[in-house]
Structure 1
């Protein structure tokens, strides 16, 4: 067994994946290993990942980034959730708002109390009790860790930002911490005799870049994990029928809302992401149900500002590499797999893979046990995210197109089917310790798309009718009062900028 100490890490490919990986590696391991990133300005990136989820806060804090500087550098805005329009039925919408809803009780989530109150005549929406939702629709934001005068959690948030500017920002950070960047295109790859590990990269300019461990951030090209090592791809199109996207930036509009919009159409859905300097738009669709011309027409006729470029077509396959780590190559980003950006998980999967690699970083040679555990964790993570995305398609109640009817009728993974049926019958949903999405996230999508549970937890019957009414009224009053005291989203962004 090779027991050589891992001293040199080579990251092939820049973009968001490459520079996020380089930045975290430099921050944590920069004093122990040498880090080289090879990229070419000639090779473009997909560059549409502009929306994130709350763990990005932890990533930026781990790097020690200043939030004000980060927002200015990336033209960023705040994200409090994702509004889903026309997913349940045309003309209806709901939000997957970050954070909690109402007040969770020991052994029993708040929505059980809400359900009981609905049966008693309460006509309020579930989202009346979501601080994040109410702040989002009123365009309010300020960092708020706790609702004043209570032990109830405050706002949970993430960001919208320009992914290209974020990569540029992290490149400057990484190079400042000693990461060596080499400009060049790979011409050939040398494998080590005996074990087939990658030994070095030969660039078109004749330079050789040797390393002990390689990270493949070459996007859908998957130059190392696929083209060199031949790791197979597991496709999920039977559950996620969309296979193409088209993206276009447009002139920004006001107000800058602190949430992402996901708008369902006849054969897919459209995203709208507000940035300080423009709006990010795109449409994700099934080529079996729409032609590219169909998708382009829908996308371009549903912009809220003038287009700033021609739409960019992005064919894709939904699925994952059978093994994210093979020999001495770890694939991070699109080289490791692809899930459509419905729940803004692409950048998070980069973050979690880089974090997992640090936790599993090999010392004296690559150990098969360590690789196996890394691959197990990455498989479980992406499969559970996959199931959450499938949920949105499966529980739609639209009957206006073949696409939506096909989605509602499709067979789904057994674990997901069980989860939906458990919630439908009992109102209960359980989160595994390593699930990305919380119980509140699952509850919002299922309730938002028309599943009103047949029953509630018996703990919800422990309150008298007056006590239940007082609970619901008090929580709504707390949420409304807290939102009223918040500054406008744009005041937070641009007031902060001018200080």
Structure 2
């Protein structure tokens, strides 16, 4: 028997990456259902998307939709991403790569990195990052997809994400969603109507005199939060005490070399600069704190540190790090910038949209709008935002830099109790534990803490029983295996040229 409470129509407010990701996911999941999906957007309202770097779970999103990866890469001028290089974060002149994937391979039920720390404490201190296949491949500009049919091969463990043009990704998903039956409505929303009994949104009116009714609304209207804030007044939680950067400048440049398979984040005087290499150009930007540098000087610093010729004037963005106090209220769920903003230091913007969509599917409502589901969604989403926040705060506070007022301020930032606990565990015995709901796993925490100079005082006491010669032997074999595997990979350029070169390049 069909559920009599099913939605007649879900309305997505705003396009861009978040809006069209929602449209693509819901049109796929609701295909064959009586529930219709409509998206309202205006060509007059620009989107923030200036180029996006992602993390590996986006592969699962594309696979869920049945998207051919080579087609997606070609359509979005994408490149592959094995990690993020952090330059000048621990101190000036120092860099490391936060890789996607583990360090080495665990043996005897003890993580590989613990063996490395044990050897380091006895003076055998080589480069931990050389035991990451993703780092070694990134350094040598190599790439290939994992050999899933050879699970015992080191080449089965390749983890990657993408660097792509966000505007082209939205266009790609729009085509997908419209093919699935999503109705796109052109128009600028000028009015919303709410139920006098429940306060829920019941309809929208556009500047073209269209009235769009809906049972459930997904707010992808950007920072202004047209429905979640202006209509339902969800409130906003300001996190600038932890993450003080509040502005960004973005500018594309001509590519100066063949794109490398990683993103770069370089610490600057009052923030950091990103570099995202695509097939046809390079995305660049400076995320900074306006209390420590003005817009003109930030613009000068960005333009002075570009690798190629600018293709446009820098685009200015203002933001307040934080999130809506509730992400889902009544019959409105917020996504993307309408839900909150976490600076793109670890490429989590699209991921937070993706995981919210996954939670929405898990808790998908009908017209009864079960409050228990809404509360569960909000609690799980908040916890994820907190985990991302703490990981970003780690980058700013685990540093020896004190050469500018901004970096001296970062030394005064209070860490959350959860972040303090994680760092204390690592400092005591080199241990990191992945926890339910973590966006970033153990290897990510190890990479940033070790890369930024957090040094453990000890290791797992169980290592005392292991013969040091055996540790040296196993670690050496793992290193040799990784080196041999990377040598077998084609270059990033060769792989893209053979499989997924953009037709517009």
TM-score range, shorter chain: over 0.9
Counterpart residue number, 2:408: 405
Cα offset, 1:100, TM superposition: 0.7
CA distance in 2, matches of 1:7, 1:150: 49
What displacement does 1:209 show?
A: 0.3
Q: Which whole-Å deviations, capped at 9, do the CAs of 1:240-273 have from their partners, x for residues lacking one?
A: 0101000000001213110000000111000000
Q: CA deviation at 1:461?
A: 3.0
Alignment check: 8 A CA contact 1:6 1:365 kept = no
Q: Which residue of 2 aligns with 1:352?
A: 355
Aligned-pair RMSD on alpha carbons? 1.5
Aligned to 1:434: 437
Does residue 236 of the first structure (1) align with residue 225 of the second (2)? no
Pair 322,26 (structure 1): closer, same or farther in 2 beyond 3 Å:
same
CA shift at 1:149, angstroms? Answer: 8.1
1:189 counterpart residue number = 192
For each residue in 1:350-406, what CA deviation from the matched residue of structure 2 results, as whole angstroms up to 9, or x when unmatched? 111111111111124211111111101110011111100000001111121111111
Which of the numbers 68, 81, 87 marks the counterpart of 1:79? 81
Whole-angstrom distance in 2 between the partners of 1:173 and 1:143 = 24
Secondary structure in 1 matching 2:458: coil
Deviations, residues 21-51 of structure 1 (Å, cap 9, x unaligned): 0000011113221000000000000013510
Q: CA deviation at 1:340?
A: 0.2
CA–CA separation in structure 1 for the residues paired with 2:268 and 2:488? 36
Alignment deviations for residues 107-155 of structure 1 (CA, whole Å, 9 cap, x no partner): 5321110011122332321111000000011000011246968465521
In the alignment, the residues of structure 2 paired with residue 472 and residue 459 of structure 1 have an alpha-carbon distance, to the nearest angstrom, of 17
CA distance in 2, matches of 1:147, 1:178: 36
CA 1:147–1:266: 2 relative to 1, 3 Å = farther
Q: Where does structure 1 lack aligned partners over 5 or more consecutive residues?
A: none
2:289 matched residue in structure 1: 286
What pairs up with 1:274-423 in 2 under 5 angstroms? 274-423=277-426
Shift of 1:464: 1.1
Structure 2 distance, partners of 1:293, 1:485, is 47
**Which residue of structure 2 lines up, in the alignment, with residue 8 of structure 1?**
9
Contact 1:50 1:160 in 2 (8 A): yes
Count of paired positions: 497
CA distance in 2, matches of 1:203, 1:41: 13
Equivalent of 1:208 in 189, 196, 211: 211
Q: Which residue is equivalent to 1:34?
A: 36
Report the CA distance between 1:465 and its aligned residue: 1.9
1:467 to 465, 470, 476: 470
TM-score by length of 1: 0.97
Question: What whole-Å deviation, never above 9, does each CA across 1:290-316 have from its counterpart, x for those lacking one?
Answer: 010111011001110000000011010
Tell me by how many angstroms 1:92 deviates. 0.3
Q: Closer, same or farther in 2 for the Cα pair 1:151/1:464, shift >3 Å?
A: farther
Whether the 8 Å CA contact 1:147–1:154 is kept in 2: the answer is: no
Partner of 1:308: helix, strand, or coil?
coil
Task: Answer whether contact 1:146 1:155 (CA < 8 A) is retained.
Answer: no
Query: Separation in 1 of the partners of 2:365 and 2:223?
Result: 26
Structure 1 ranges of 4+ moved more than 6 A: 146-149
Q: Could you tell me whether the CA contact under 8 Å between 1:147 and 1:482 is conserved in 2?
A: no
Given candidates 447, 453, 457, the residue that maps to 2:460 is: 457
Q: 2:160 aligns with which of 127, 146, 157?
A: 157
Corresponding residue for 2:136? 134
Q: Does the 8 Å contact 2:219/2:225 carry over to 1? A: yes
TM-score when normalising by structure 2: 0.96
Q: 2:61 corresponds to which residue? A: 59
**Structure 2 gap segments, 5+ residues each:** none
Q: Is the Cα–Cα contact under 8 Å of residues 49 and 346 in structure 1 kept in the other structure?
A: no
Paired position in structure 1 for 2:260: 257
- In structure 2, how many angstroms separate the alpha carbons of the residues matched to 1:65 and 1:486? 25
Look up the SS of the partner of 2:411 in the other structure.
helix
Q: Distance in 1 between matches of 2:87 and 2:149?
A: 29
- 1:482-497 equivalent positions in 2, closer than 5 A: 482-497=485-500
What's the counterpart of residue 117 of structure 2? 115
Q: CA deviation at 1:415?
A: 1.1
Question: Equivalent residue of 1:272, what SS?
Answer: strand
